[in-house]
Amino acid sequence: MREILPALGVQADLIVADPPYNETPITWDRWPTGWPTLAAQHTRSMWCFGSMRMFLDRRDQFTDWKLSQDVVWHKNAGAGMSTDRFRRVHEYALHWYQGAWRDIHHEALRHVPPGGVKGRTKPGDAVRRNGEHGPHIGKRKRHTWTDDGSRMVTTVIGASCMRGRAIHPTEKPVPLLDPLIRYACPPGGLVLDPFAGSGSTLDAARQSGRRAIGIEANEEYCERAALRLSELVLI
Ligand SMILES: C[S@@+](CC[C@H](N)C(=O)[O-])C[C@H]1O[C@@H](n2cnc3c(N)ncnc32)[C@H](O)[C@@H]1O
């Protein structure tokens, strides 16, 4: 990515990065020094996957970026064999941006929760909300609306790991990537994944009507991603 990204000379609406965390003996799991600074030259909005340890160890490399929020991916199965700690069933996706928050595409998503609607109001009720503003949360005036039964998508996203169906050992599932992309990239916009692996981000982007570019160092994963993307999907 450090060679190809500058050569492409593109500005993306969103980068979705799932970098090597530098936490395993896998040969490709080596942090490319300085990549967040390079990414900052090609977009102003970025989701980055990682562990808390990864972000804390590399915090000096994110100085070009402001943090807007963190999302947790809750997976069905744990990773790792450690028996001296809690079983790890989550990873983080942090959203970073540059410039003014009002200039960054961010469209809060709503859905009808699978377990039914919970909360202080029920569908049909008139709801009043006080205004709020502050750094990284934008500005919202006091307003009233009718509860339509939908709720905001929450910061914990449950999505099953790809085990058995995976092209790549750390492949992210499309149902996890889809809300991140729809939140931060406008329809028809360009998503760039500098560590594309199986092409999961590119697949999620096209399924949600966004354009996508992927960069991947490993030739075999590139070929498998290209094959995946050559298959038709019903949109
Ligand atoms: C965590 S995996 C990404 C998995 C991907 N998100 C998926 O869902 O399939 C990181 C990928 O980055 C690739 N990689 C490592 N260093 C790279 C570099 N400098 N440039 C481009 N790709 C690199 C690795 O080969 C690996 O496939």
Does residue 192's CB lie within 6 angstroms of at least one atom of ligand 1?
A: no
Q: Which atom of ligand 1 is nearest to the CA of 225?
A: 9
pLDDT of residue 234: 60
pLDDT of residue 61: 97
| Rg, Å, the chain Cα set | 19
Indicate whether 101 pLDDT > 80: yes
Indicate whether 235 pLDDT > 70: no
Tell me, rounded to whole angstroms, the distance of Cα 186 from its chain centroid: 14
Residues 126 and 107: their CA atoms lie apart, in Å, by 23
Answer yes or no: are the C-beta atoms of 85 and 46 closer than 8 Å.
no
The domain made up of 4-109+154-230 has a fold known as: Rossmann fold (3.40.50)
Residues 6+ apart with CB under 8 A from 27: none
**E strand or H helix at 37, and its extent?**
helix 35-39
Torsion of CA 216, 218, 220, 226, to 10 degrees: 10
Return the residue whose CA atom lies nearest to atom 23 of ligand 1: 217
Q: Where exactly does CATH 3.40.50.150 map onto the chain?
A: 4-109+154-230
Residues 151 and 147: their CA atoms lie apart, in Å, by 9
**What is the tens place of the pLDDT at every residue in 163-215?**
888 899 999 999 999 999 999 999 999 999 999 999 999 999 999 999 999 99
Position 208, amino acid: S
| φ, ψ for residue 28, nearest 5 deg | -80, -5
Q: Give me ligand 1 centre to Cα 38, in Å.
A: 16
Answer yes or no: are the C-beta atoms of 201 and 181 closer than 8 Å.
yes
